[in-house]
Structures are given as C-alpha cells and as structure tokens.
Homo-oligomer: A and B are copies of this chain.
C-alpha cells in the first residue's frame, strides 16, 4: 500500500531551504500542485490556517465597521483602463475570457487581478453625500495574475485574499484607515504567525499601480530574503477623479472622495512555512496551528483498549472545552512511530502520548514539537500545563524569529559594505538613499537589493546616499525580495 509520506524522504531544511519548503508543504498536506500549470490546491490542513486568518481579520474589520460583500469575477477591459498607472501595472498579468456560452465575445472580460475598478464603478452609484462616508467594504475572494515562474503559496496564478476598499471625506481619514489595517496585519504576523515585521512606506517605484502611497509589512525569511507580507494603499484621489466618485461635502460643495485599498493573501502561509520548521518538518506556532495537540494512544498488546480509548476521549473533551484544538489519532492501521513522524512533519505543537502506564497512573506524556522535550503530567494538572506550554511555545517561536531578524539587520555605511553584505549574509540592510529612482534601480541591478520600505519609525537624519553620495535624509531598508 502506498503511504501518504515517508519521513526519510523529507528534504532537509538545513541543507536546502527551497527544496525543503516545497517538500514539507506537500508532505504536511498543506497544499498540492493542481492539474493546471502555475495553480495550486489548498488542502484542508492548509486551508484551516487561512480560515483562522479570516476569523481574526473579520473580527478586526467588524470592530471598525468594515462590511463584507461580493463583486463580480469579470471586469470589462474598458473599466480597467480608467486609471492609467493601474492598467499599465496589471496588463502583463491578465487572464482574459474571450469565449462565453459558445460565442466569441465582442468585449473580452478580464478575470480580476484586483477589484479597484469594478468596485469603484459601483461606488459612484452609492456615494452621494458626506453622510454616505466613510464607505467601508471588504470582500474575501480569488484573484488571478498570470505568472511564468510559480512557487507554492508564494507565487501562484490564482490566490485567495481579502481586499478592502474604503472611501473617505478627507485624506486624513484615508491615511488613518491605511495605518489601522497595517497594524492589524502586523498583529496577525507577530501574534499569530510569530514572525516579527518591519512596517513602513514603499518607495514610489515599488508602490501599488495606481496608489499615491503604499504601506507595507516586511519580513525576513531564513535565507536572508525579504517577503512582503501585506500592503495597504493610500489611493489619494487617483481613482476617485477618473471614476467620478463625487460627493456633497459638509460645506455643501462637490468634492472627490479619498480612498484606500488593503489586502493580505494566502501568500502569508508561505512565510509561515519558511519561518517555522526544521529538518523534521513544520513547527506551527500554537495560535495559528489547526491542531494544537495530537493525542496518540499507544496500543501495545497487553493494553486495556477500551479503558485507553475512553481515557483519550475524555482528555480530548476536556481540552476541547478549554479551547484547545485537539485530535485523537485512533488510526489502528498505522504504527506509533509512523504517527509520531506524521504529526512532526505537520508541525503540531504538542504530542500527548498515553499507554497502559499512563492510563494506570492517570497521567500523560507531553512532547514538545519545537525542542523535543518530554514530560509526564498528571491528568489533573494537564489543562493548566498544556495551556502554559502552548503559550510558551508561541512566545519562544516569536523570540527566535525576532533574534534572527535583529541579527540580520545591518547598517551599510558605504556601497562596498552593502555589496559585501549582499554577497555574504543578505538580510535587511539599513542605508541612506537619495530617493532618486535611478539610484534605486542601479542598486537593484548591481546587488539584487531593492528598497523594501522606509520604516514608519525612521527618524530624519543627515547622511549621504549609499550609492551616489548625494545628501539623504532617511535610512531605508534594502533587501533582496522574494
């Protein structure tokens, strides 16, 4: 019989991050390659992580009055053309429907790469007065961007995301919204995914096609490359003017709205996998783990089966009632060793082993996935101990990622220093930049390091551009991007 996976086959993270990444995603059953080139299937274990992100984001959005809705998958090309930078940015990546119902379409339809244009076409019908503002709408959906080189979760032709689009009376309201969304994303990454972030502003050449300013959440992956985790865009009036999103303001005058759009995608799961794992598989932070504890009954020959099964079920119920996501692995066809391996690969934070000895002593052996430490816990102390362990593992994961980030964020005083870092450790580089796009392009071409962001907490300083030596006022974050 073919097995779902073999531990011995798992590639080693310590040897090749990229190979391990793909391998662990397939073997942990987070996702699989689809029968369409460049597309993927998100399997239940991976989708459960996304559902957790949805739950957290929905709660944040609800607290701010952002409501969910749904807009069409297809966009007439003419709508896309209304904002020039926007259509220019997305044109190379479009999937286009030219046949419908057996007939060639007069007006081909674009499969949405993002929904600004189709949503704002509706917003014009809905916004009349300042009393209709702020208009705060979000949708959870799928988008398509044609990609030549794809990578599970990180770059696929179709991905899932939420896209929120808001309209405000003034730019202050729009910027507030952008920053609020940015903080939510930062919290999801730091408190759930246990990945530290740097939040900041994108350069003009790295911003979203059509935005006035793009805010970003940047993370550092174990190979020293940066991953953009989520963005929120201050669209200014770039869309409201061509889409004629006018409203009567409090002074009774006609004005254009100020807009934002912001999103987090299933790409985030790629960051999670890259960050947390070892040669034995994933190590999921408890707050985002679909299964936080796996109970494995050790069904040896002389065991009291009924007693043991009852004991496991009773533990499961107690843990579930305490809010722990727990499963009992009762599959009798699989050996205990194979089960241990399987749940290790899947990165379940805690393994609870119970055999005849534990049944008799009313105890349980608790094994941590992250450090492999075993301890025997009395049944009556189990709930408290497991809660405390889950909390501890969550913290430890974050502290470890943060230490890595700090150790791999380096200042570069000269271009030689910057190049040296890029040739050795990579990571984040803090360096003065003159904010001239030509210099930015040259640095990227010469070193692979692009501007990731100007951190929101960056202070104004006096310095000189790391490449051209012209005066510069801020240190930007540079890195090679995924």
Q: Are B67 and A44 in contact (CB under 8 A)?
A: yes
Q: Which residues of chain B are near A34, meaning CB under 8 Å? A: 71-72, 118, 122
Q: How large is the interface on A (under 10, 10 to 19, 20 to 34, 35 or more residues)?
A: 35 or more
Cβ contact of A74, chosen from B1, B39, B122, B128, cutoff 8 A = B39
- A41, B141: Cα distance in complex, Å: 13
The copy count of this chain in the complex is 2
Q: Are B70 and A160 in contact (CB under 8 A)?
A: yes
- A148, B101: Cα distance in complex, Å: 8
- A85, B108: Cα distance in complex, Å: 29
- A97, B158: Cα distance in complex, Å: 14
Q: How far is the CB of A232 from chain B (nearest CB, A)?
A: 20
Cβ contact of A98, chosen from B43, B67, B74, B99, cutoff 8 A = B99
**A102 close to chain B: CB less than 8 A:** yes
Q: How far is the CB of A265 from chain B (nearest CB, A)?
A: 12
A61-117 residues with Cβ-Cβ distance < 8 A to B are 67-76, 79, 91-102, 108-109, 111
Complex: chain B residue closest to A1, CB-CB: B129
Complex: chain B residue closest to A93, CB-CB: B101
Q: Are B137 and A40 in contact (CB under 8 A)?
A: no
Interface string of A166-184 (1 = CB under 8 A from B): 0000000000000000000
Q: Are A1 and B68 in contact (CB under 8 A)?
A: no
Q: Which residues of chain B are near A417, meaning CB under 8 Å? A: none
Cβ contact of A102, chosen from B46, B92, B147, cutoff 8 A = B92
Q: Are A122 and B35 in contact (CB under 8 A)?
A: yes
Q: Are A95 and B97 in contact (CB under 8 A)?
A: yes
Q: Are A41 and B97 in contact (CB under 8 A)?
A: no
- A141, B50: Cα distance in complex, Å: 14
Q: Which residues of A contact B (CB under 8 A)?
A: 1-2, 32, 34-36, 39-44, 46-48, 50-51, 67-76, 79, 91-102, 108-109, 111, 118, 121-122, 125, 128-129, 131, 137, 141-142, 144, 146-148, 157-158, 160, 248, 331, 333
Can you list 13 A-B contacts with CB-CB less than 8 angstroms, sorted by A residue number? A34-B71, A35-B118, A39-B72, A44-B67, A47-B69, A72-B158, A74-B144, A92-B101, A97-B98, A98-B98, A98-B99, A102-B146, A141-B142
Which 8 pairs between the two chains have the least Cβ-Cβ distance? Answer: A101-B146, A44-B67, A96-B99, A42-B70, A39-B72, A2-B128, A34-B72, A100-B146
